[in-house]
């Protein structure tokens, strides 16, 4: 039987730090192949004859919002709209590099947008529907385009090649592109399958890579090192006592008959600070989905993929006192009575008794 090695990867969830353990091998294989394929496609292959970069470069510097495409290459896109940000997040996840909550949000957000676009073949934002003007008729002498029809997906159609050949007959410097796959372009909206569509929305696409990234995150086990402060979470202290055996066991240990005296101050109060400090250093394990979701709720991280496997808590003094009063009141009263009895037995005799003979 073989086991899959899972590396521990630094995790930054904003207020909470820790590590994440997951099997990133399937994602890495898929991502590396996607990078290799998109980096190998250049120039007219991707539908932009004035753009010299690879399809990978093009995708990284483009985005899904505010896109204005033409046959001259990518236009300016603001940083927060670029695919490069989500590609960086996937690259970190695939290679077990430190990743953070912003990267997780980016993967979720972009995947949702790409999934929506993939379902909407009529959308102008779908790369199937990048529109070009196809030169269906041109003057045989001047080569001036006389009539055009909209064509979607790619501009290198038989009409475009014919027009370029005619111009090249007079000017040898003009390049005539080779014939491309017929499915790259279409005169009907929603039918074309150009490389840009294939590698952003299609079966070999970034969308598929992101889907695998989400599967990877869903199976991840997160181990937090920053204690979760739950003093403002109503009922959180008691929930911890009732549901987490590490917390329950800690309280039962310190409030046992032989130990409780060490956690009561000379004034008869509970040493809540002492208890809280010690408790915040105890590693707690979640055992079911309900506990896992409760911890995410305390973190303000509802919807976070994966499981919070281990964590620490910092319970307020008030919550500690409530637990003690509700579940260990008899033990406390017995301890105080025992201390009073002991104190009475050790009181010095009066000076009259000492001097009596």
Rounded Cα–Cα distance for residues 278 and 163 (Å): 80
31 and 67 inside one domain: yes
Using one digit for the tens of pLDDT, what is the confidence trace for 256-284? 877 888 888 877 788 889 999 999 999 99
168 and 207 inside one domain: no
123 and 142 inside one domain: no
Rounded Cα–Cα distance for residues 198 and 58 (Å): 14
Residue 249: which domain range? 221-344
Task: Using the 3D structure, point to which of 176, 193, 210 is the last residue of a domain.
Answer: 193
- Give me the residues paired with residue 132 across strands: 151
Query: What pLDDT, on a 0 to 100 scale, did the predictor assign at position 47?
Result: 67
* 62 is a domain residue: yes
**44 and 53 in contact (C-beta within 8 Å)?**
no
* 58 is a domain residue: yes
156 and 101 inside one domain: no
293 and 252 inside one domain: yes
186 and 213 inside one domain: no
How many distinct structural domains can be found in the chain?
3
Query: What pLDDT, on a 0 to 100 scale, did the predictor assign at position 336?
Result: 77
Query: What pLDDT, on a 0 to 100 scale, did the predictor assign at position 186?
Result: 96
* 300 is a domain residue: yes
* 38 is a domain residue: yes
* 9 is a domain residue: no
* 11 is a domain residue: no
* 36 is a domain residue: yes
* 8 is a domain residue: no
277 and 203 inside one domain: no
Query: What pLDDT, on a 0 to 100 scale, did the predictor assign at position 354?
Result: 39
175 and 279 inside one domain: no
* Residues whose CB falls within 8 Å of the CB of residue 63, separated by 6 or more in sequence, listed in order: 77, 78, 81, 82, 83
Residue numbers in the chain where pLDDT is lower than 70 = 1-5, 47-49, 64-81, 342-357
209 and 88 inside one domain: yes
**222 and 307 in contact (C-beta within 8 Å)?**
yes
Query: What pLDDT, on a 0 to 100 scale, did the predictor assign at position 357?
Result: 39
Query: What pLDDT, on a 0 to 100 scale, did the predictor assign at position 125?
Result: 87
104 and 209 inside one domain: yes
Residue 271 — φ and ψ, nearest 5°?
Answer: -80, 75
76 and 205 inside one domain: yes
* Residues whose CB falls within 8 Å of the CB of residue 315, separated by 6 or more in sequence, listed in order: 230, 231, 236, 237, 240, 276, 279, 280
286 and 139 inside one domain: no
């Amino acid at each position: 039987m073989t086991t899959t090695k899972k590396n521990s990867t630094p995790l930054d969830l904003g207020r909470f730090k820790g590590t994440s353990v997951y099997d990133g091998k399937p994602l890495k294989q898929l991502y590396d192949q996607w990078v290799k394929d998109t980096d190998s496609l250049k120039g007219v292959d991707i539908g932009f004859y004035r753009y010299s970069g690879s399809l990978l470069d093009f995708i990284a510097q483009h985005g899904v919002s505010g896109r204005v495409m033409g046959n001259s290459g990518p236009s300016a896109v603001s940083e927060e709209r670029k695919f490069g940000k989500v590609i960086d997040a996937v690259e970190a996840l695939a290679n077990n590099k430190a990743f953070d909550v912003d990267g997780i949000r980016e993967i979720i957000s972009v995947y949702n947008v790409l999934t929506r676009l993939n379902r909407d073949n009529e959308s102008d934002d779908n790369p199937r529907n990048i529109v070009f003007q196809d030169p269906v008729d041109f003057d045989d002498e001047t080569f001036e385009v006389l009539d055009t029809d909209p064509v979607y997906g790619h501009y290198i159609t038989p009409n475009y090649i014919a027009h370029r050949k005619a111009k090249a007959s007079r000017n040898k410097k003009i390049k005539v592109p080779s014939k491309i796959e017929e499915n790259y372009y279409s005169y009907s909206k929603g039918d074309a399958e150009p490389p840009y569509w294939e590698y952003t929305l299609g079966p070999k696409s970034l969308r598929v890579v992101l889907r695998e990234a989400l599967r990877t995150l869903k199976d991840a086990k997160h181990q937090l090192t920053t204690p979760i402060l739950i003093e403002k979470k109503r009922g959180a202290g008691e929930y911890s006592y009732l549901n987490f055996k590490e917390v329950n066991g800690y309280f039962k240990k310190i409030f046992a008959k032989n130990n409780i005296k060490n956690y009561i101050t000379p004034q008869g109060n509970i040493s809540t600070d002492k208890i809280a400090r010690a408790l915040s250093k105890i590693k707690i394990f979640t055992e079911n989905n309900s506990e896992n979701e409760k911890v995410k709720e305390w973190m303000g991280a509802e919807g976070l993929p994966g499981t919070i496997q281990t964590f620490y808590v910092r319970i307020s003094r008030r919550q500690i006192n409530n637990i003690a009063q509700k579940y260990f009141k008899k033990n406390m009263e017995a301890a105080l009575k025992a201390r009073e009895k002991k104190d009475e037995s050790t009181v010095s005799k009066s000076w009259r008794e000492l001097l009596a003979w």
